[in-house]
Structure 1
Amino acid sequence: MRMPGLESGLRRARQRSGLKQAELAVRAGISRQTLSALEAGRAQPSTAIALNLARALGCRVEELFWLREEGEVIRTGLASPARGSRRVLAGRVAGRWVAHPLRLDDPLSVITPADALLARGRLRLLRPRESVEANVLISGCDPGLAVLAGRVADRWAGQRLCWIGASSAAALASLARGEAHVAGAHLFDESAREFNVPFVRRALANRPMVVVTFAHLEEGFAVAPGNPRRIRKPEDIARPDVRFVNREPGAGARRLLDRLLRKAKVPTSAVKGYDRLLGGHLQVAQAVAMGAADAGVVARSAAVAHGLHFVPLSEERFDLVFPKEWSGDPRAARMVETLEGRAFRRELASLGGYDTRQSGHLVTELP
């Protein structure tokens, strides 16, 4: 049997630590030449050297060196229909392999590296098995999740947080089915006057869960630059000259729109395009930017990303939800630590429409 090769994340881990080769070599008790060879993959470390390097860099050995079996094939089902896509994100949730197709209708999927290719009902891995197993699968709709993924990867070499686009309700359902480690949601319960927690209770059937704040975000109408249709309030989208594009049922933006239309006593049948559905903030903003619609409800960051005018409607709390049993996993601690970090908060706030003062705050533990 062919032995798998040894992959190395040593150089990247050293660079992130800010150490020069000579400095790390001294701390690990090896020569700079040996360290250079290990970083270049020209040599393999002994157990003692690997342990010393991990201690010097403050990380796990698995983050520095791992075995790779090229093109390993695994069996697993798909969390959603492939619909022509062969590229997937994958990971292990509660000991079970899970795969999510990178949707062809998602503009971000083109720039998202896949973990595996779908072939005859199986997955052929494109990355080391150990690396894919370490993935954190996070389902949700807010574009800011991409910032969280980037900050996690920056801080912990080899750690990948995979953002899977989904409405808030779909994200909670995915978490309940064991298809994700984390779900993101911004759903307001009118009777309880509370964000997210009542929906978590219902979707997760009183399973022990942790709810942590991602950020507060602004939602409103994305309209063309200069707002030529003069759309300023919910009643305006019921005018016959306004073409609207909506989010799917279960989306926080859809629930917000329905709530505001009821308050304004505007029937949904009066909104041209109410039944025209797209699957994300960025997709809705893109439709408006292309002139295919005059308005849609999005997070401010999505409107800004497409150069659109934004009409604020509401501030909502976007939370991250994960099983209490997973809270002891180092990956959960890394995610929350990143949320609390200054770099993440500053970058997310710079996108526009985010209040990050409570990012990482524990909302509740259920039940």
Structure 2
Amino acid sequence: MVENKALTPQEVADVLKISKSTVYDLMKRRELNAYRVGKKLRVDLEDVENYKNKTKDVKHINTLALEPSRPISSPIYEETHDKSSSFIISGQDVILDILCRYLDRQPNGVRALRSYAGSYNAVYALYQGEVQMATAHMWDGKTGEYNVPYIERMLPGTPAVVIRLASRMQGFYVAKGNPKNIKDWNDLRRSDITIINREKGSGTRILLDEHLRKLGISGRSINGYSRESQSHLAIASTVARGDADLGIGNEKACLQVQGIDFIPIQKEQYDMIIKKEDLNCPAFEAIFEIIRSDEFKFELQGLGGYGLTELGKVIAET
């Protein structure tokens, strides 16, 4: 019989060999029982064992269950929902998880929490004062620019600063060998192509919709357009399983999934956005020091898949 020991979310993550953010996602979906002791979440070891036994009979594990998939309207915040006293960074890239780790150990830093919202919703949350820093990769089809045209519209009367984090290659995920000979956006006109889409508000979804608008293609005419998933890895996995012919995502995620090829389509810019009034706050001074440090840059270079020549550069002030 399992000793009924109380575990922290990190201890659960260590037992299951998954990330702590995935543990929170399992709790939210009520696949893993949890309870609060004050503001802290705890899980009984017996419930962890029950969860493991419950999933042992599953022959094909759905990658969606392994990736944080959070409703756009209700992002998860680690450990506490007391947003008024928290420093929250919103966005989905692993760069932000690494930044939070550096920020936690920085002398003038803070213990930052993470909200895994897509680009549009992250910027909107910044405008509403729900997060202190947002990140985005939203392409504007009219200007060909990333992020700045959206920031100017979405933060009315709110001076903001846009700082470059990285460039990434976006493209199509297709089955190994590209059996349907998919080449570019025009292939979305074909009736024999089924896609798996990203959720509304994500930068990848905006990229798709902007190109469809420019080409005069209706989303309703595309097989699978209304079927959504909330991570690059989940999209890649869907294509690898043969449940879709095409998905859109960044090159780095593609490298983690077997059975698919990547067709480069467009280089994108991934930026962080902060309110100008916060520039002199100690936490943001610490962030600037971190992202402009060699140590932080070298760690990101080790991950691969990022262009870092402009890391830490102020791209625009609105």
Q: 2:161 aligns with which of 191, 197, 210?
A: 210
The change in CA–CA distance for 1:349 and 1:220 in structure 2 (over 3 A counts) is: farther
Q: Return the alpha-carbon distance in structure 1 between the equivalents of residues 128 and 158 of structure 2.
A: 12
Change (3 A) 1:236 1:109: closer
Per-residue CA deviation, residues 154-213 of structure 1 (Å, 9 max, x unaligned), is 555984333321121111111111110111111122334432122112111121212111
Q: CA deviation at 1:109?
A: 7.8
1:197-346 → structure 2 map (5 Å cutoff): 197-307=148-258, 308-346=260-298
Residue identity in the other structure for 2:299 = E
Give 3-state SS (helix, strand or coil) of 1:194's partner.
coil
Aligned residue type for 1:309: D
The question of 1:149 aligning with 2:100 is answered yes
- CA–CA separation in structure 2 for the residues paired with 1:313 and 1:218: 7
Partner of 2:316: 364
Corresponding residue number in structure 2 for 1:347: 299
Is the alpha carbon distance of 1:141 and 1:155 closer, same or farther for their aligned partners in structure 2, counting shifts above 3 Å? same
TM-score between the two structures when normalised by the length of structure 2: 0.69
- Residue 123 of structure 2: aligned partner: 172
Q: Is the 8 A contact 1:221 1:298 kept in 2?
A: yes
For residues 325 and 141 of structure 1, the distance between their equivalents in structure 2, rounded to whole angstroms, comes to 24
Native 8 Å contact 1:167 1:280 kept in 2: no
* Partner amino acid, structure 2, of 1:268: G
Cα distance in 1, alignment partners of residues 241 and 97 from structure 2: 23
Tell me which of 64, 79, 83 is aligned to 1:115.
79
1:322 maps to a residue whose letter is I
Question: Which whole-Å CA distance do the structure 1 matches of 2:35 and 2:116 have between them?
Answer: 15
Contact 1:327/1:333 (CA < 8 Å) preserved in 2? Answer: yes
CA contact (8 A) 1:217 1:353 kept: yes
Alignment partners' CA distance in 1, 2:35 and 2:67: 14
Say if 1:362 and 1:87 are closer, same or farther in 2 by CA, change over 3 A: farther
Whether the 8 Å contact between 2:67 and 2:231 is mirrored in structure 1 is no
Number of equivalenced pairs? 257
Larger RCO (CA within 8 A; separation ≥ 6): 2
Relative to 1, partners in 2 of residues 1:336 and 1:287: Cα closer, same or farther, differing over 3 Å? farther
- When residues 327 and 158 of structure 1 are mapped into structure 2, their CA distance, relative to the original with a 3 A threshold, is closer
- Deviation, structure 1 residue 316: 1.3
Q: Which residue of 1 aligns with 2:42?
A: none
Listed as ranges, the gaps of 5+ residues in structure 2 are 1-27, 40-63, 71-75
* TM-score normalised by L of structure 1: 0.60
- Find the aligned partners of 2:35 and 2:130 in 1 and give their Cα distance: 17
User: Residues 234 and 143 from structure 1, CA distance in 2 versus in 1: closer, same or farther, beyond 3 angstroms?
Assistant: farther
Contact 1:218 1:299 (C-alpha < 8 Å) held by counterparts = yes
Structure with a larger share of its residues in strand: 1
Give percent identity, aligned residues only. Answer: 33
* Aligned amino acid, residue 107 of structure 1: E
RMSD of aligned residue pairs (Cα, Å)? 3.4
Q: Deviations over 1:282-308 (max 9, x none)?
A: 332333344432321112222123344
- Contact 1:220–1:298, Cα closer than 8 Å, also in 2: yes
Q: CA deviation at 1:105?
A: 6.2
Give the AA of the match of 2:278. Answer: W
1:246 deviates by: 0.8
Conserved in 2, the CA contact under 8 Å of 1:165 and 1:280?
Answer: no
Asked if the contact 2:174–2:262 (Cα under 8 Å) also holds between the matched residues in 1, the reply is yes
The structure-2 alpha-carbon separation of the partners of 1:222 and 1:201, relative to structure 1 and needing over 3 Å to count, comes to same
Contact 1:340 1:360 in 2 (8 A): yes
Unmatched runs of 5 consecutive residues or more in structure 1: 1-81, 91-103, 124-128
Look up the equivalent residue of 1:256 and give its one-letter code: L
